[in-house]
A and B are shown apart, each in its own frame.
Chain A
Amino acid sequence: GAVVSQHPSWVICKSGTSVKIECRSLDFQATTMFWYRQFPKQSLMLMATSNEGSKATYEQGVEKDKFLINHASLTLSTLTVTSAHPEDSSFYICSAESGGAQGEQFFGPGTRLTVL
């Protein structure tokens, strides 16, 4: 199957700093990428959908100025958590869609963010 990578796999930062997480589709072009957030022992919650070359579509309740998403190419999307606070600590997972009418989503391994 197609491979999606995320970098970094884990990051610890101080409160008030910004953190960038990269999501790459390694062997296919992804017109659409998705960002999810997962709290411990809870399900993945869709944060936003990003399409290459256009603005991301955020789910209700997700602050777009807090979670900046850039999808600059068909193989790379970035999520920047701005002015991070301890409540932003979570597991962030991206996925990339392979396209087509029933395009399958391929998931990255996730990035664990801890804000001190």
Chain B
Amino acid sequence: GNSVTQMEGPVTLSEEAFLTINCTYTATGYPSLFWYVQYPGEGLQLLLKATKADDKGSNKGFEATYRKETTSFHLEKGSVQVSDSAVYFCALGVQGAQKLVFGQGTRLTINP
């Protein structure tokens, strides 16, 4: 079946540190891959996505590359800010974004 495994949190970093949150997946076929972010008190928001192998999704300084050979979609940011503190979810989509399978979420806290 389809599943997503992401790095367990919580993750705490200092401002301007480099961020990596690991995400690996198991899927039949060719899923789309997503990163969602949930800020306190808000709903999940799409951060970035990639729909095929070797695609790179990017937004707000975050990047993730769809790696079919390692079945991974790791999230990276070169210099994090306090405002990046949130919970990050990796997800794969079957039938585009129709049916989403989520990882367990990683809570990120950035200290000034």
Q: Which of B32, B43, B96, B98 contacts A107 (CB 8 A)?
A: B43
Per the bound structure, the CA–CA distance linking A107 and B32 in Å amounts to 18
Interface size class of A (residues with CB under 8 A): 20 to 34
By a CB distance below 8 angstroms, the chain B residues around A34 are 100
Per the bound structure, the CA–CA distance linking A102 and B97 in Å amounts to 6
By a CB distance below 8 angstroms, the chain B residues around A70 are none
- Is A49 a contact of B99 with CB atoms below 8 Å? yes
- Is B102 a contact of A104 with CB atoms below 8 Å? no
Q: Is B104 an interface residue, CB under 8 A from the partner?
A: yes
Per the bound structure, the CA–CA distance linking A97 and B93 in Å amounts to 13
Contacting chain B: which of A14-22, A37-45, A71-79, A80-88?
A: A37-45
- Is A102 a contact of B43 with CB atoms below 8 Å? no
- Is B97 a contact of A107 with CB atoms below 8 Å? no
- Is A103 a contact of B97 with CB atoms below 8 Å? yes
Q: Is A113 an interface residue, CB under 8 A from the partner?
A: no
Interface centre among B36, B100, B103 (most CB of A within 10 A): B100
Interface size class of B (residues with CB under 8 A): 20 to 34
Q: Is B51 an interface residue, CB under 8 A from the partner?
A: yes
Q: Is B73 an interface residue, CB under 8 A from the partner?
A: no
10 A-B pairs with least C-beta separation: A107-B43, A107-B44, A43-B102, A43-B104, A109-B43, A44-B102, A102-B96, A108-B43, A42-B104, A105-B97
Q: B residues engaging A (CB < 8 A)?
A: 4, 32, 36, 41-46, 51, 89, 96-105
Q: A93-B43, A107-B45 are in contact. List 13 more A-B contacts (CB 8 A).
A: A34-B100, A41-B104, A42-B105, A43-B105, A49-B99, A95-B44, A97-B98, A101-B96, A102-B51, A104-B46, A105-B97, A109-B41, A109-B42
Q: A residues engaging B (CB < 8 A)?
A: 1, 4, 32, 34, 41-46, 49, 93, 95, 97, 101-110
Listed by A's residue number, 13 A-B pairs whose Cβ atoms lie within 8 Å are A43-B89, A43-B104, A44-B100, A45-B102, A49-B99, A93-B44, A102-B32, A103-B96, A104-B46, A105-B46, A105-B97, A107-B45, A110-B43
